[in-house]
Amino acid sequence: MIHLFYYENIEWLEGENILDTSGFHVAVVGATGAVGNQMLKTLEKRNFPIKQLTLLSSARSAGSTVTFKGKEWVVEEAKPESFIGVDIALFSAGGDVSKRLAPEAVKHGAIVVDNTSAFRMDPNVPLVVPEVNEEDLKLHNGIIANPNCSTIQMVAALEPVRKKYGLTKVIVSTYQAVSGAGAVAIDELQQQSQAILSQEAFEPSVLPVKGDKKHYQIAFNAIPQIDKFDDNGFTFEEMKMINETKKIMHMPALKVSATCVRLPVVTGHSESVYIEIEQDSVSVKDLHEILNEAPGVTLEDVPEEQIYPMPAHAVGKPDVFVGRVRKDLDEANGFHMWIVSDNLLKGAAWNSVQIAESLLKLGLVK
């Protein structure tokens, strides 16, 4: 089956209640967005123990309804008082909303799992990918940050390699889907594709960055800009990958470099990753062995059978897929690999729900 769109069914794990409890009051901030939509589907699929659900958006969508577990739920405008009685608040409504409302949620006694970059580099906020650094959750002060989608899938694949063989250098180039830029970017790709195929005129208005000086065609194109430019020539998306990788892996001295590119793919980020490891004489077979056993990772690497990960195959699945593992031809300790994942699931909604499940498992939710 060919998957094109992000909102198709999530195909995985019918969850069981992970706690024998009457459940928690959960709030989803940004419930009408591309990430919020997948957040609700993931909570539903996992049968997350919810006793009360509060769905929040801006005033624009307040009063609209969203389906959860076969029932229509009314969305409300997010305000400081929306968090009274909330146990767990999942935020994906942009950094400004998180900066304004996450502290209010914490004041009201909620634990916040924040999908934005607002608090990721705050030393008092754990930045967590459960397969990599679940223990960091124990240091939380009310807010836990979910990393950038491109960072998450890369560190999930690299952590088992680091653990066994050490890691000294990472150079990544990304091939990112438009759903990472929100529901408006998905619409823009669809409209432009239709316009081009029907030879109609169109005016780009969303990508690479909504509200920036220039907008470019994304259909049948590749745009080497995700987020705005920093003064050092890297984009903020690239700087997020660099800084977040070092924080999550507890390796401030790790050499990391990134180039982030937007492609006309609806969902599923791909990454070409070059690494250098500490240990000598490691083979591709050695890396296959550890990747095969790594939690949350699926190895798809049989070149002679043309088996390798692709975004169209990753959509709706929770795992990080790794393939094309090969030794560099010049650098003895250098390896290349291709890493693909559903950016809205492991890159956002699933990682956030996993963090919430870890918080329950570790007894960190009061």
Segment near ligand NAP (CB under 6 A); pick from 7-15, 87-95, 215-223, 254-262: 87-95
Rounded to the nearest 10 degrees, the angle between the axes of helix 350-361 and helix 34-45 is 40
Q: To the nearest whole angstrom, how small is the minimum distance from the Cβ of residue 115 to ligand NAP?
A: 4
Rounded Cα gap, residues 36 and 230, in angstroms: 28
Q: Does 94 bind ligand NAP (CB under 6 A)?
A: yes
- The residues, ordered by sequence, that sit 6+ positions from 364 with a Cβ below 8 Å of its Cβ are 111, 137, 138, 140
Q: Residue holding tokens 């709030």?
A: 27
Q: Does 95 bind ligand NAP (CB under 6 A)?
A: yes
Identify residue 323 by its one-letter amino acid code. G
Q: Which of 57, 174, 176, 245 forms a contact with ligand NAP (CB under 6 A)? A: 57
HSE-CB for 95 with a 13 A CA cutoff: 7
Give 241-266 as a DSSP string. HHHHHHHHTT-TT-EEEEEEEE-S-S
Q: Residue holding tokens 């209010």?
A: 104
Q: Are 288 and 299 in contact (CB under 8 A)?
A: yes
Q: Would you mind telling me the total number of residues written for the chain in this entry? A: 366
Which residue, 55 or 170, is less far from ligand NAP as judged by CB? 55
Across 187-281, where does the E strand assignment appear? Answer: 255-262, 269-277
Q: To the nearest whole angstrom, how small is the minimum distance from the Cβ of residue 314 to ligand NAP?
A: 15
**What does the per-residue mask of binding to ligand NAP show for 304-343, with x meaning CB under 6 A?**
----------------------------------------
**336 beta partners:** 274, 326
Q: Does 347 bind ligand NAP (CB under 6 A)?
A: yes
With CB atoms as reference, the residue minimizing the distance to ligand 3JN is 180
240 binds, among ligand NAP, ligand 3JN, none (CB under 5 to 8 A by kind): ligand 3JN
Q: To the nearest whole angstrom, how small is the minimum distance from the Cβ of residue 289 to ligand NAP?
A: 30
Q: Are 263 and 159 in contact (CB under 8 A)?
A: no
Q: Does 195 bind ligand NAP (CB under 6 A)?
A: no
Q: Which of 10, 89, 144, 149 forms a contact with ligand NAP (CB under 6 A)? A: 149
Structure tokens at 284: 């591709």
Q: Which of 27, 90, 97, 294 forms a contact with ligand NAP (CB under 6 A)? A: 97
Question: Would you please indicate which residues are annotated as catalytic (active-site) residues?
Answer: 149, 269
Q: Which of 55, 86, 90, 93 forms a contact with ligand NAP (CB under 6 A)? A: 93
Looking at residue 146, the DSSP 8-state letter turns out to be P
HSE-CB for 302 with a 13 A CA cutoff: 5
Q: Does 78 bind ligand NAP (CB under 6 A)?
A: yes
Residues binding ligand NAP: number (CB under 6 A):
27
Structure tokens at 90: 């999942």
34 binds, among ligand 3JN, ligand NAP, none (CB under 5 to 8 A by kind): ligand NAP
Which residue, 54 or 146, is less far from ligand NAP as judged by CB? 146
Rounded Cα gap, residues 141 and 88, in angstroms: 13
Residues lying near ligand 3JN in the complex (CB under 6 A): 95, 116-117, 148-149, 176, 180-181, 226, 240, 343
Buried/exposed 155-178: b ≥16 CB within 10 Å, e otherwise? bbbbbbbbebbebeebbbbbbbbb
Q: To the nearest whole angstrom, how small is the minimum distance from the Cβ of residue 178 to ligand 3JN?
A: 8
58 binds, among ligand NAP, ligand 3JN, none (CB under 5 to 8 A by kind): ligand NAP
Rounded Cα gap, residues 167 and 13, in angstroms: 32
27 binds, among ligand NAP, ligand 3JN, none (CB under 5 to 8 A by kind): none
Q: Whose CA is closest to 36, among 101, 114, 96?
A: 114
322 binds, among ligand 3JN, ligand NAP, none (CB under 5 to 8 A by kind): none
Residues making contact with ligand NAP (CB under 6 A): 30-36, 57-58, 60-61, 78, 92-95, 97, 115-116, 146, 148-149, 180, 182-183, 347-348
